């Protein structure tokens, strides 16, 4: 989360200082730098932007989106990241952090601008969050939610950790899928070779195959907060990629 820095107090106008404190000068009519600063109009301020995002990434966020989960990877090859949820309910104020930072994991080999099936990298970009599901009953969410035993996870992760419970809650990331369809929908508009099934899901304590994972209680919290009417998106990538 981030907060705006406090604005510095303006210098007092020179005309308000006692005459006995004025510094000697050869030009009594000249104003000092403090007075000039006091007369200068305050710099205009606009709505707050999400600090770590560059102009290219910011412009990819739909104008109508009022919720953005920003997942920032530690480096291009890192599987560790941080997630923060921002909202911009008031366009004159701009983006404000409302939840997080939360620890997160991404794919084993980090991030990629061009994801392919089984490359063990997470796709960089801005994607919609339009549907959810899980093995467990919905914890209360406005997103369309599919409860199914098909979300059962088993086996071990890359660090030998158990994957059990990883899909208790999932939110589909709209990479190479039909927005709004069930997370289980196998349709791949870009083709099977470009991968798919990229989800937000419960963290199992290690790298993923391409998804993003956060702790279970944070998944519950996120499901309760996200609102389809606010066109939620996920903005994800490593630090350098998000700064573009």
211: annotated active-site residue: yes
Contact by Cβ (8 Å): 217, 29: no
Contact by Cβ (8 Å): 232, 89: no
Indicate which residue of 105, 115, 201, 204 is catalytic: 201
Among residues 113, 12, 141, 122, the alpha carbon closest in space to that of 78 is found at 122
Contact by Cβ (8 Å): 111, 73: yes
Cβ neighbours for 25, distance < 8 A, ≥ 6 positions apart: none
The two tokens of residue 197 are 């099934």
CA distance 234 to 224: 16
Indicate which residue of 105, 115, 204, 211 is catalytic: 211
Helices (H) and strands (E) in the chain, counts: 4, 11
Among residues 67, 43, 77, the alpha carbon closest in space to that of 232 is found at 67
**Residue numbers annotated as active site:** 201, 211
């Amino acid at each position: 989360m981030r907060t705006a820095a406090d604005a510095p107090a303006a210098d007092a106008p020179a005309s308000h200082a006692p005459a006995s404190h004025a510094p000697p000068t050869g030009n009594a009519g000249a104003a000092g730098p403090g007075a000039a600063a006091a007369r200068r109009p305050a710099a205009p301020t606009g709505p707050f932007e999400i600090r770590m995002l560059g102009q290219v990434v910011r412009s990819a966020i739909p104008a109508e989106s009022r919720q953005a989960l920003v997942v920032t990877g530690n480096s291009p090859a890192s599987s560790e990241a941080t997630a923060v949820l921002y909202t911009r309910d008031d366009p004159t104020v701009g983006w404000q952090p409302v939840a997080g930072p939360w620890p997160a994991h991404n794919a084993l080999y980090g991030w990629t601008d061009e994801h392919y099936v089984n490359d063990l990298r997470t796709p960089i970009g801005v994607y919609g969050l339009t549907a959810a599901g899980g093995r467990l009953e919905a914890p209360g969410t406005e997103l369309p939610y599919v409860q199914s035993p098909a979300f059962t996870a088993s086996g071990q992760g890359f660090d030998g950790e158990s994957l059990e419970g990883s899909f208790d809650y999932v939110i589909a990331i709209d990479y190479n899928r039909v927005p709004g369809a069930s997370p289980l929908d196998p349709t791949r508009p870009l083709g099977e070779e470009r991968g798919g099934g990229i989800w937000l899901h419960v963290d199992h304590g290690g790298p993923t195959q391409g998804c993003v994972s956060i702790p279970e209680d944070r998944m519950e919290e996120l499901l309760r907060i996200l609102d389809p009417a606010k066109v939620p998106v996920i903005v994800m990538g490593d630090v350098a990629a998000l700064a573009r």
